[in-house]
Amino acid sequence: MTEMAKLSLPDGKSMELPVLTGSENEKAIDISDLRKKTGYITLDPGFANTGVCESKISYIDGEHGILRYRGFPIEELAENPSFVEVAYLLINGELPNKMQLENFADRISLHSMIHEDMRHFFEGFSQNSHPMVILSAMISSLSAYYSEASGKASMEDLEINSARLIAKISTIAAFSYKKSVGQPFVYPRDELSYSANFLNMMFSVPAEPFELDPEIERSLELLLVLHADHEQNCSASTVRVVGSSEANVYASVASGILALWGPLHGGANQQVVQMLQKIHMDGTGISKYIEKAKNQYSNFRLMGFGHRVYKNFDPRAKILKNECDRILSKLGINDPLLDIALELEEIALSDDYFIERKLYPTLDFYTGIIYRALGIPLNMFTVMFVLGRVPGWIAQWKEMHEDAKQKIARPRQLYTGQTKRKYVPIAERV
Ligand code: ACO
């Protein structure tokens, strides 16, 4: 029998609300009939207490630092990271067998080229355009080439559209980098793995041979796997909200890219390294920055610290901290920014301000140091996040369309503006 919660309202009305239980025993009060039955709405800025859907894709226990994709612990998926396998898992719900994986990987490779006309789009952007802008514009432009993808009908073609998105986004990302450095575009090579193909498009030039370092390829696979989904965060919610109007999957993902760009979300990975660089150049020590972050009158925040859901270590940050050590020592790099990051983390984790607010390092705190080691430039960091997150966005978009209970996203508001008043013609205004 469904458990019920009782809500008593100030006007004497009351209502019984069903209590739902998730598979990990999380509880939710179903308020979907609240306004219809009582006239009241709920108010929850930033949706901090609001569940917008039931989902089977990823599970986070922020209190205990747990993240699972489709039930599999992130630590296990990170052991021998395969981004294409994880993409299949997120979108289809189960791990692929050997043949399913090969077919999925082949389908992605098959769609890696973009329409030749799209090359000209890059000419319209100035050389110093941020690659995130280019990426979002180009992904939404894909709708112009794949018209069968329009609206909810694209669910029928989702298999091919997923492959197109996962494949083409890496080509577009690499082209936008090439544009920014004034080098010729390097076309995709289908015989390479997803990460190897991306690295080849980014770093090879026609003038000389390019040797791919398998250590770098492995590190990139790991980063992509760790970014692949994170339940109802700002960008995933954006993809769902846009998709709920039956906008196509390309338009929905393009909107997700822009939501991810903000410094409080995916843009934090660029901000972390900029912050570490500033501390390094300043040379006067870390405590000044810790004090600034704690000062309520300063708008400075310790970037890469704090998360809406994690009130404990982000499990991805733990994995990446080890990966920083591994890849930097394999590549023989001694990055002073890593030393600053470690010191900053140690000081913050023993400071009452951060302890009381449960502010821990998130994955963004470490990704930038690894991207630097891999040779990825600063303005491409958030683009790398996008490459990893695309399968998660597709899975979220798909799940929303398969859920019979989902409707167009249309929140309510509590109006606090002027009550009715009379229009004053301009000649009579003071
Ligand atoms: N540095 C200093 N103080 C912080 C930080 C930080 N990084 N993060 C939160 N706080 C403080 C706030 O000032 C607030 O203090 P108060 O209670 O005295 O007012 C308290 O901790 C709670 O913070 P909120 O902003 O209310 O928490 P919220 O859940 O809304 O925000 C967020 C989470 C946006 C991630 C925040 O922690 C932040 O701005 N972090 C820095 C940016 C960042 O790294 N973003 C990446 C997040 S991960 C991702 O999206 C991929």
| Residues 260 and 295 reside in one and the same domain | no
Please give the distance, rounded to the nearest whole angstrom, from the Cα atom of residue 2 to the centre of ligand 1. Answer: 36
Please give the distance, rounded to the nearest whole angstrom, from the Cα atom of residue 304 to the centre of ligand 1. Answer: 9
| Residues 180 and 80 reside in one and the same domain | yes
The DSSP-derived string for 373-427 is: HHT--GGGHHHHHHHHHHHHHHHHHHHHHH-TT-----------S--S-----GG
Of 286, 301, 364, 381, the one to substitute when testing ligand 1's pocket (max ligand atoms within 8 A of C-beta) is: 301
Please give the distance, rounded to the nearest whole angstrom, from the Cα atom of residue 306 to the centre of ligand 1. Answer: 5
Q: State the closest ligand 1 atom to the C-alpha of 306, by its place in the atom list counted from 1.
A: 37
pLDDT attached to residue 283: 86
pLDDT attached to residue 156: 72
Ligand 1 atom 36 nearest Cα: 306
| Residues 261 and 281 reside in one and the same domain | no
Ligand 1 atom 49 nearest Cα: 265
Q: Does some domain include residue 414? A: no
pLDDT attached to residue 151: 65
Ligand 1 atom 18 nearest Cα: 296
CATH at 14: 2.20.28.60
| Residues 258 and 395 reside in one and the same domain | yes
Ligand 1 binding site (Cβ under 6 Å of any ligand atom): 46, 233, 264-266, 268, 293, 301-308, 357, 359, 362, 364
The DSSP-derived string for 164-191 is: HHHHHHHHHHHHHHHHHHTPPP----TT
Ligand 1 atom 15 nearest Cα: 357
Please give the distance, rounded to the nearest whole angstrom, from the Cα atom of residue 357 to the centre of ligand 1. Answer: 9
Please give the distance, rounded to the nearest whole angstrom, from the Cα atom of residue 301 to the centre of ligand 1. Answer: 7
Please give the distance, rounded to the nearest whole angstrom, from the Cα atom of residue 266 to the centre of ligand 1. Answer: 13
| Residues 152 and 260 reside in one and the same domain | yes
Of 260, 273, 359, 381, the one to substitute when testing ligand 1's pocket (max ligand atoms within 8 A of C-beta) is: 359
| Residues 260 and 396 reside in one and the same domain | yes
In angstroms, the CA 172 to CA 178 distance is 10
Regions of the chain with pLDDT less than 70 = 147-154
Beta-sheet pairing, 58-61 with 27-29: unpaired
Q: Does some domain include residue 62? A: no
pLDDT attached to residue 155: 73
Active site residues: 307, 364
- Give backbone dihedrals phi and psi of 207, rounded to 5 degrees, phi first: -75, -20
Of 230, 264, 356, 366, the one to substitute when testing ligand 1's pocket (max ligand atoms within 8 A of C-beta) is: 264
pLDDT attached to residue 363: 92
Ligand 1 atom 21 nearest Cα: 357
| Residues 152 and 225 reside in one and the same domain | yes
Ligand 1 atom 32 nearest Cα: 307
Domain containing residue 396: 72-265+378-402
pLDDT attached to residue 10: 93
Q: Does some domain include residue 34? A: yes
Q: Does some domain include residue 337? A: yes
Q: Does some domain include residue 82? A: yes
CATH at 350: 1.10.230.10
Q: Does some domain include residue 251? A: yes
pLDDT attached to residue 149: 62
| Residues 107 and 193 reside in one and the same domain | yes
In angstroms, the CA 167 to CA 387 distance is 9
| Residues 15 and 114 reside in one and the same domain | no
The DSSP-derived string for 271-301 is: HHHHHHHHHHHH-S-SHHHHHHHH-TT----
pLDDT tens figures, 155-202: 778 889 999 999 999 999 999 999 888 899 999 999 999 999 999 999
- Total domains in the fold of the chain: 3
Q: Does some domain include residue 189? A: yes
Cβ contact 310:61 at 8 Å: no
Ligand 1 atom 12 nearest Cα: 357
| Residues 223 and 360 reside in one and the same domain | no
3-state DSSP of 76-109: HHCCCCCHHHHHHHHHHCCCCCHHHHHHHHHHHH
| Residues 398 and 316 reside in one and the same domain | no
Angstrom CA distances, 13 to 6, 40, 390, stand at 11, 10, 46
| Residues 252 and 108 reside in one and the same domain | yes
Q: State the closest ligand 1 atom to the C-alpha of 385, by its place in the atom list counted from 1.
A: 51
> What is the model's pTM?
0.94
Please give the distance, rounded to the nearest whole angstrom, from the Cα atom of residue 264 to the centre of ligand 1. Answer: 8
Of 307, 313, 320, 383, the one to substitute when testing ligand 1's pocket (max ligand atoms within 8 A of C-beta) is: 307
Q: Does some domain include residue 112? A: yes
Residue 115 is given by DSSP the state: P
Please give the distance, rounded to the nearest whole angstrom, from the Cα atom of residue 305 to the centre of ligand 1. Answer: 7
Ligand 1 atom 41 nearest Cα: 303
In the block, residue with structure tokens 């249309």: 410
Please give the distance, rounded to the nearest whole angstrom, from the Cα atom of residue 328 to the centre of ligand 1. Answer: 29
Long-range contacts for 398-405 (Cβ within 8 Å, ≥24 apart)? 398/91, 398/155, 398/158, 399/53, 399/55, 399/56, 399/57, 400/53, 400/240, 400/243, 400/244, 401/152, 401/155, 401/243, 402/155, 403/53, 403/54, 405/54
CATH at 224: 1.10.580.10
Ligand 1 atom 17 nearest Cα: 357
